Structure 1
Amino acid sequence: MTRTRLIAALVMAPMAIAAILLLPTPWLMALAAVVFLAGLWEWFDLAEVDDSLARAVLLAANLALMVALVWASRSSSGFSFVLLQIATVIGVVWWLLALAWLGRYGFASNHDTHARAIKLAAGTLSLVPAWCALAWIHADNGDTGHRWLLVALAVVWAADSGAYFAGRHFGGRLFSGRRLAPRISPNKTLEGLLGGLLAGVATGIGLGLFAGAGVAQLPWVVLASVIAVLFSVVGDLFESLLKRHVGLKDSGHLIPGHGGVLDRLDGVLAALPAFALAKAMFGF
């Protein structure tokens, strides 16, 4: 499984990096919308929406929301990112609420209409603000915005890999076998969390310099990286919680060794709004 996972990552990573660094923001937004909506399609399984027509209508509604945000941001004087920034803040607030949800395992787990509606709303609140944050980061700071988006995503990717390998090699050795969230994701360890934080911060520092951060800004880049990693853990655990509610191991089987699209996006969805807001607040 590790070999398959590695090969898939080696194929996907260069394509993602090339798109981030080479595509103009409007084209990247369009490409990201396709990927995010593919993840949303898998989210419908977690919300137990089985009817194809209902799924198509829900997907179209989320696409319409994305289009409406872009359309409403256009003016005769240029493109304004205010609405995307507001959506990003809403995303951060949502993930803080999702953290509270993690503490109530049984909430919205009873497979009824009420639970389905809550999970569908959670899907929109997870994907649309992340897409807005992606666009905001990429378009910000002129020519360096695309580099900062690479920083944000690479921090999450590195943290995910660092947590995976630290958990495999050191899990249970440093913290007396204590698990991060045993009921939600029994395989996640505190050692994995620590390894993910170290890998994410190291990546944030290295690529932060590549993106143009000065030495005086590096402490803020480190803090933003820590925040992004912690939010990515919330996103990962939240998807795991929803999968446990419906008895799924993976959100899909599209990516060999990685599961579905949503399995690759879960941490990114939570980390992007957090990183974008931290970047704006810390001024780098």
Structure 2
Amino acid sequence: MTKTRLLAALIMAPIAIAAILFLSTPWIVALAAVVFLAGLWEWFELAEIEDTLARTVLLVAHLALMVAIVWASRSASGYSFVLFQLASVIGVVWWLLALLWLRHYDFASNHETWARFFKLAAGALAVIPAWCALAWLHGTEPNGHIWLFTALAVVWAADSAAYFAGRHFGGTVFKGRKLAPRVSPNKTIEGLLGGVIAGVLVGIGGSLLAGASAAQVPLVALVALVAALASVVGDLYESLLKRHAGVKDSGHLIPGHGGVLDRIDGVLAALPVFAMGKAMFGF
């Protein structure tokens, strides 16, 4: 599984990096919409929307909202990011609420209509703000493309380092204590720490490429730290959805990685946090 996982990552990573660094913001926004909506399609299945027509209608509704945000953001001087910023704030608030959901694991765990409603609302609050944060990061000058790459690299580094740190050191430092045993029994505190450290280091390195000054590095490190932790929340929340639905992966599109949602769950939570932190601290 590790070999398959690495091979898939080696194929996907260069494509994603090249797109982020060399495509213009409108193209990145469109490409990201395709990826995020693919993840949202899998989210609908985890929310137990079994009818294909119903899922299609829901997907079109979310696409229409994305188009409406872009259309309403037009201005005489180009595009305004106000709506994208507002959506990013909503995303940060949602992921704070998701922490409460993780604490109350059994909430909406049954198969009633009201439970599906909450999970569908959660999907919209996760996907749309993350897509808006991505557009905001990439479209902000100077070096927006590098800042977006940095934000994503924080998540990728945290996820990969957590995986390998958990495999090699899990249970050795904290005597087998798990991070969230009811939600994701395999995640360890050692893995969390390894992932967060890697995310912070990569965030600092990326920020220097993006032009951050030495005085801004501690602020970047703080934002990268919180973004890496947020990515863990996103990962855990998707694990909760999968456990409620009784499945191992959100899909089978990516060999060794599962579905699209399995690859972007941490990104959904980290992007709004990183974008807001960058705006707050002005780097």
Report the TM-score, using the length of structure 1 for normalisation. 0.99
User: What SS class does the counterpart of residue 106 from structure 1 fall into?
Assistant: coil
How far apart, in 2, do the equivalents of 1:105 and 1:181 lie? 10
- After TM superposition, give the deviation of residue 13 of structure 1 in Å: 0.3
- Tell me the residue number matched to 2:72: 72
1:192 maps to 191
Q: What is the one-letter code of the residue matched to 1:8?
A: A
Write out per-residue CA displacement over residues 232-264 of structure 1, whole angstroms, 9 at most, x where no aligned residue: 000000000010001010000000000000000
- Residue 141 (structure 1) shift: 2.1
- Superposition pairs of residues 83-232 of structure 1, within 5 angstroms: 83-142=83-142, 144-232=143-231
Q: Distance in 2 between the 1:282 and 1:176 partners?
A: 38
Tell me the amino acid that sits aligned with residue 83 of structure 1. Answer: L
Q: Give the C-alpha shift of residue 202 in structure 1.
A: 1.0
Q: Which amino acid aligns with 2:184?
A: S
**Offset of residue 78 of structure 1:** 2.1
Supply the distance in 1 between the matched residues of 2:162 and 2:141 (Cα, whole angstroms): 31
> What residue is the counterpart of 1:240 in the other structure?
239
Q: Which residue of 2 aligns with 1:30?
A: 30
1:61 maps to what in 2?
61
CA drift of 1:77 comes to: 3.0
The amino acid across from 2:30 in the alignment is A
SS in 2 for 1:186: strand
**SS across alignment from 1:173:** coil
Q: What SS does structure 2 have at the residue aligned with 1:107?
A: coil
Query: Match for 2:121: what amino acid?
Result: A
Q: Hey, what's the Cα distance between the residues in 1 that align with 2:35 and 2:3? A: 24
1:128 shift after superposition: 0.3
Q: Where has structure 1 moved over 3 Å in runs of 4 or more?
A: none
- Distance in 2, matches of 1:70 and 1:128, equals 12
Q: How many residues align structurally?
A: 283
**Match of 1:3, as an amino acid?**
K
Mapped partners of 1:152, 1:202: distance in 2: 12
Structure 1 position 205, deviation (Å): 1.2
- Match of 1:10, SS state, is helix
Q: What CA distance in whole angstroms lies between the structure 2 residues aligned with 1:75 and 1:214?
A: 32
Provide the C-alpha distance between the structure 2 equivalents of 1:213 and 1:123, rounded to a whole number of angstroms.
Answer: 33
| 1:49 match | 49
1:41 alignment partner AA: W
Between the aligned partners of 1:240 and 1:5, the Cα distance in structure 2 is 18
Q: Find the residue that maps to 2:231 and give its secondary structure.
A: helix
Deviations 1:35-86 (A, max 9, x none): 0000000001110001011010000000000000011111223211000100
TM superposition shift of 1:206: 1.2
Q: Distance in 2 between matches of 1:241 and 1:258?
A: 17
SS of residue matched to 1:183: coil
SS class of match (1:241): helix
The residue type paired with residue 9 of structure 1 is: A
Secondary structure of 1:147's aligned partner: helix
Please, what is the CA RMSD of the aligned residues? 0.6
Shift of 1:99: 0.7
Trace 1:265-284 onto structure 2 (pairs within 5 A): 265-284=264-283
Q: What SS does the aligned partner of 2:197 have?
A: helix
Q: Distance in 2 between matches of 1:78 and 1:35?
A: 25
C-alpha separation between the residues in 2 aligned to 1:77 and 1:258?
Answer: 42
2:87 is paired with a residue whose SS is helix
What are structure 1's unaligned runs of at least 5 residues?
none
1:152 aligned partner, one-letter code: A
